[in-house]
A and B are shown apart, each in its own frame.
Chain A
Amino acid sequence: MILFQNVNKDYNGRPALSNLNLHIGKGEFAFLVGPSGAGKSTMMRLLYREELPNSGQIFMGGVNLNKLPTYQVPRLRRRLGIIFQDYKLLPKQTVFNNVAYVLRALGVDEKNVEKRVISALSVVNIESKKNAYPTELSGGEQQRVGIARAIVNGPPVLLADEPTGNLDPTTSLEIVQLLAEISQRGTTVLIATHDEPIVNALRKRVIALNAGQIVTDVDSGVYELKGNS
């Protein structure tokens, strides 16, 4: 589903990713761990084509992202669900409208919008707060809304960049378990995080990055950066 081949990326000569090779299969759940500046967010940005690598190839569902023309980037992103650390919710819109906003922009008819939004909200267990505003919700609830928005279009891949960064440990675990449940339905999930407890609790595939290079890649792994797990 996701393939990095000899990918290099630098910012003004400072390397962010060096000769990176990685494959994540369809329906897989993986943590991308590493300290700040390891290159996790750079990998995420490359995946949703916010940036291009300096060299190497990146494939998403068989599509070479390097060769993807700019006008087709929206089509790629419709096949991705992106979850952010700061939730990126619209404060003046209700929970329902936050999730419906993108569907409406994509031209989905109102009947289907309602059906799909309610379904997404029930997956993340926040259906009862559909008329609330984001400011009335806790951090965990806001992140659930963010996840509902990411999955409402039924994407085959979910990318989460530090989804638990603003949450307490208990809520963080709930959110990651929710993402694991979504993955069991066939969605490929890649979570960039440096939240050690949640990585260790789930025992899923762990890809550790340090200074732009993969130092470990272990199935059922724990948070470990030195390559000896």
Chain B
Amino acid sequence: MRIFRIIYRVVVESLIGLKQSGWSNWFVISILATALILFGFIMQVTLTLKTLVNSWGSQLEISVYLKDSCKPYPEAQKIGAMKGVEQVLVIPKEEAWQKMRKSFSVAYVDNPLPNTLHIKLKSPTYVEQLAPIIKAMQEVENVRYPLKVARIINQIRRFVEIGGLFVMLAMSAATLIVIGNTIQLVIQSKQREIEILSLMGVSHFYIKGPFILQGILYGTSSALIASGLIAIVNLNCEKYVKLQLAYLAPSLTNNLEFGLTPIYLMLFGLGIAVGATGGAITSGRFIKL
């Protein structure tokens, strides 16, 4: 029971500290919340790109466009005999042209489409191995495969991740400084209480605890604001994004779903960690027991 009474007093003291900080609280919370919102959106962008990459990467297919001078079926046989190839589907240029004309009202012009081979592979590891070999064949005009696109998206994702991480770290450092300054002011105003408590044998936990808890409360409030904002943005933008994507890549819209819970957990974890670290560093630096 004694420990609960002490914890209760620590909570009361940290709430007094918050009251004493006044408007500084909102300054700290707004900076930390901005850092967390940024972090949340970066996480969301990278998660979306990751899902997109995985979704495309799982389509184990290479599209081969043949030269007009070449006959598709012998080429299909040749490629079908290669290691790792599961199936080769031939789409003759005439068939493709007819389909296209059915779908779209195309003017009477010469068929511009090439003979195409869709190659299904046994494993994604064969994609990058076979694609250059097939492209080097004399009869082949061009080769396309989703992994190539996936690789570019991955590069963009990595850039966003690293850039975002740097911005995040800079904002966290700024937040630590602001938390430090705010808590330092509270420590200064409570210098007499701290001195009395220390000389009367009150534990270090009781003396420093309220300042660490104050930092944690900053982190929690900031994470709450950041999570709320991200949830609102998601709720309003999700339909629009899906609608846009449906035009661009209809097969992907169903594969882009991922839960926001890990993002919220990360926001709270990071917010609490930054707040507690700020409180711990400042109380360690300015309270000499």
Question: Which A residues are within 8 Å of any B CB, using their own CB?
Answer: 48, 70-71, 73-80, 82, 88, 90, 101-102, 104-109, 149, 153
Contact = CB atoms under 8 A, between A and B. Distances in A.
Contact of A78 (B192, B193, B201, B289): B201
A43 to B, nearest CB: 16
17 contacts: A70-B289, A74-B202, A78-B200, A79-B201, A80-B201, A88-B195, A88-B196, A90-B192, A101-B193, A105-B206, A106-B202, A107-B2, A107-B3, A107-B9, A108-B5, A109-B1, A149-B200
Contact of B201 (A74, A101, A104, A108): A74
A215 B192 CA distance: 35
Given A74-B201, A105-B206, 10 more contacts: A48-B199, A73-B201, A74-B202, A77-B199, A79-B201, A102-B200, A107-B2, A107-B5, A107-B6, A108-B5
B289 A105 contact: no
Interface of B: 1-3, 5-6, 9, 192-193, 195-204, 206, 289
Contacts, number: 60
A77 B201 contact: yes
B204 A71 contact: yes
Nearest to B202: A105
B94 to A, nearest CB: 86
A76 B199 CA distance: 10
Contacts of A82: 199-200
Given A73-B289, A104-B9, A107-B5, A88 B201 contact: no
A44 to B, nearest CB: 11
A105 B1 contact: no
A74 B193 CA distance: 15
B196 A101 contact: yes
A108 B3 CA distance: 10
Contact of A88 (B3, B192, B204): B192
The 7 nearest A-B residue pairs measured at CB: A77-B201, A78-B201, A107-B2, A107-B6, A102-B200, A107-B5, A105-B202
A71 B204 CA distance: 8
A105 B289 CA distance: 16
Contacts of A77: 198-201
Nearest to B207: A105
B6 A90 contact: no
A107 B8 CA distance: 9
B9 A105 contact: yes
Contacts of B1: 109
A102 B198 CA distance: 10
Contacts of B5: 104, 107-109
Nearest to A73: B289
Contacts of B197: 101-102, 105
B91 to A, nearest CB: 77
Contacts of B3: 107
B287 to A, nearest CB: 13
A133 B1 CA distance: 31
Nearest to B10: A105
A109 B9 CA distance: 11
A74 B217 CA distance: 27
- Give the residue among B1, B197, B202 with the most A Cβ atoms within 10 A: B202
A226 B196 CA distance: 36
Contact of B204 (A48, A74, A108): A74
- Give the residue among B196, B200, B203 with the most A Cβ atoms within 10 A: B200
Contacts of A71: 204
A102 B192 CA distance: 13
A107 B196 CA distance: 16
